[in-house]
Structure 1
């Protein structure tokens, strides 16, 4: 007998009249039969445009409006309203391919067939994504092929520091995780989703990835939080990286010299000098060979600084051309 749990698709909306109808249509077009769609208006200030669009769908969706509090507050609000055993988050400016939920639930069935006793409450499934512009033209397909179907939590933790592949809208998550680790941290405005994935990893959740299946389109445009609140984003990302380092080292199994070296070089690669310095001084002091260590650090720093400068130029040109 097939496992066909109810899946709640949560769409947070803030001033979303430009794209939200496409997101709602994508959620309603899912080929998986057992879905509910929750649209949460986070106090939009667009003269009722977002609400008018949402209400036009009638009982096809469940619509709520709340005071503005940021996307984390929307997701936490939705957790109290959803009735699905699993949930998936869809930003109002992003899109799902029609088979997104179906393929992820199908994968859960494959896991159950291989191991009937598997604990699905400690499993997450994500997929590959691609980037589109405001007109839905594909502008970038991240390299997911190197991401294994399954890896140990510590490997996911370390690998995604330097090569981030944890797109929030790509996940299918067990609703029970909210009771297990709590909701999103509403004090974090720009990277609360990233922190949540790491909280799941540190809590021992198994992350599976359908790396060959591009099932989500992330839209890139000039009004995204990461582009409008750059300084806050950089500050919160640095704080998050330091939190990751400290949390990792509270686990005796994870707190090894080798893991801290990987974490350190990951921060260097991301050019997050404060986090790299934190790991070096707190967790690697007197634990690595001086000369070889510093030579490697100097070489990596110089190399990644050069690459970073080139990337910044490329991103500037990219945004001028595509992101308007």
Structure 2
């Protein structure tokens, strides 16, 4: 099948993002690439997301299902099973695609079967859709190809979740998303690169990531437990202890003047002989810096 006719299945799992869901859906419907299947699943929202989505569905006719809450990874797996596209794009219901995003990724992946995931750079927007200052953007990260060790050991800048385009063949090869792991992007990137595929990240902006009060990354306890669980799947890797300890030190530093109870729990998991500069900096913050709010 030629690149010009490959079907792309975009899956939006919507959950309590009523203020953002319409802009998100319209950004998919407004893509310059013509062969797009849009599947929207509301995963038990308690706000007025369903009503907003139904109004758009009546106008544009995309696939829309409503279900009781099952969680993101289970919702994605269910939608992927019925998706018709060879290329799968899981997309956050609070984010925004730039108009030529899908066209650029489809063209790039057309002759590269070794690439399981194509990604790109992002711009950051706030809850009102306003761009963050240039100094806080990830606009200018250059192209990089990543294998498993690059992702696991963070040797190169990460592939932003909101820009992932994944071969359905690769997803099927690794058994899809792990339904027991809620932090889906890191887990699937590791699974697919572990299976021998590459992640290629284009050095251009493809999407806008919205930062707001309910972003998952702000729940430190959730992020830490999820990432440690993902790393543990590869505990036979020779650098596993290094990767795990480095992550614990980074999160200890981040939490040291934000959530001191959590910081102490993290510190207890870092062997003294593995303490790094970040560990010592976190220790200074823990005992000598004022507690940050928010």
TM-score normalised by the shorter chain: which range applies?
0.7 to 0.9
The one of 129, 154, 160 equivalent to 1:136 is: 129
- 1:166-205 matches, within 5 Å, as 166-189=159-182, 191-205=183-197
- 1:90-239 matches, within 5 Å, as 90-109=91-110, 112=111, 118-119=112-113, 122-139=115-132, 140-142=136-138, 145=141, 148-159=143-154, 165-189=158-182, 191-210=183-202, 212-227=203-218, 229-239=219-229
Partner of 1:240: 230
Alpha-carbon shift at residue 84 of structure 1 (Å)? 0.6
Task: Provide the secondary structure at the position in 2 that maps to 1:204.
Answer: coil
Decide whether the 8 Å contact of 2:122 with 2:139 is kept in 1: no
Structure 1, unaligned runs of 5 or more? 113-117, 250-254, 281-292
Alpha-carbon shift at residue 232 of structure 1 (Å)? 2.9
Alpha-carbon shift at residue 100 of structure 1 (Å)? 0.7
Decide whether the 8 Å contact of 2:148 with 2:190 is kept in 1: no
Alpha-carbon shift at residue 127 of structure 1 (Å)? 0.4
Using the alignment, how far apart are the partners of 1:237 and 1:167 within structure 2? 15
* Residues 125-150 of structure 1: CA deviation (Å, up to 9, x unaligned): 100112210011122313752x5432
Partner of 1:283: none
Using the alignment, how far apart are the partners of 1:298 and 1:138 within structure 2? 37
> RMSD across aligned C-alpha pairs, in angstroms?
3.3
Alpha-carbon shift at residue 268 of structure 1 (Å)? 5.6
Using the alignment, how far apart are the partners of 2:84 and 2:146 within structure 1? 30
Alpha-carbon shift at residue 298 of structure 1 (Å)? 4.5
CA distance change for structure 1 residues 236 and 215 in 2, over 3 Å: closer, same or farther?
A: same
Q: How many matched pairs?
A: 275
Using the alignment, how far apart are the partners of 1:75 and 1:132 within structure 2? 25
Using the alignment, how far apart are the partners of 1:305 and 1:224 within structure 2? 24
Structure 2, unaligned runs of 5 or more? 253-262
Alpha-carbon shift at residue 42 of structure 1 (Å)? 0.7
Q: TM-score, normalised by structure 2?
A: 0.80
Partner of 1:14: 15
Task: Provide the secondary structure at the position in 2 that maps to 1:138.
Answer: coil
CA distance change for structure 1 residues 26 and 42 in 2, over 3 Å: closer, same or farther?
A: same
